Amino acid sequence: MSEIKPGSTYRICEHCREQVEGAFICKCQRREKKENIRMENVDNEEQNKTERAIQHLSKALNSDLGYRFAWQSNIAIQFQDELSRRGYKLPDQHEISNVAADNFLNLLTKKNENL
């Protein structure tokens, strides 16, 4: 602890008991601030990785119709399988599931701005 200067304002941190003058922050708050900044950087890096992955996937889905059809088919069949597991049988479930899968891929790739 440093000496108290006449006329200065100070406080004692309730966590680390450090005497802090004026607007300065104590050791535990500096450490906490560093951790928060580090976590923000990690979050930003992860978000950037995710954005790049989605951009890469979107480009592939929009440029290769066979690849897109494979994705659409796999999504649609999962929808149909779940309907069957729950005991539903719709007369046009094949068409509905394909349209739903295509809508999902449009949203994922931002291909259709009207959705």
- 41-97 pLDDT tens trace: 656 777 788 888 999 999 999 999 999 999 999 999 999 999 999 999 999 999 999
Residue 104 domain-assigned (yes or no)? yes
At 115 the pLDDT is 41
At 110 the pLDDT is 85
Residue 114 domain-assigned (yes or no)? no
Residue 45 domain-assigned (yes or no)? yes
Total domain count, the chain: 1
Task: Indicate if the pLDDT at residue 105 is higher than 90.
Answer: yes
What is the model's pTM? 0.57
Task: Indicate if the pLDDT at residue 24 is higher than 90.
Answer: no
Residue 29 domain-assigned (yes or no)? no
Domain that holds residue 92: 34-109
**Average model confidence (pLDDT) for the chain?**
79
Q: How does DSSP classify residue 8?
A: -
At 1 the pLDDT is 46
Residue 68 domain-assigned (yes or no)? yes
Q: DSSP for 40-64, please give it.
A: HHHHHHHHHHHHHHHHHHHHHHHH-
Beta carbons of 97 and 80 less than 8 angstroms apart: yes
Residue 77 domain-assigned (yes or no)? yes
Residue 4 domain-assigned (yes or no)? no
Half-sphere exposure of 30 (CA within 13 A, CB side): 8
Residue 14 domain-assigned (yes or no)? no
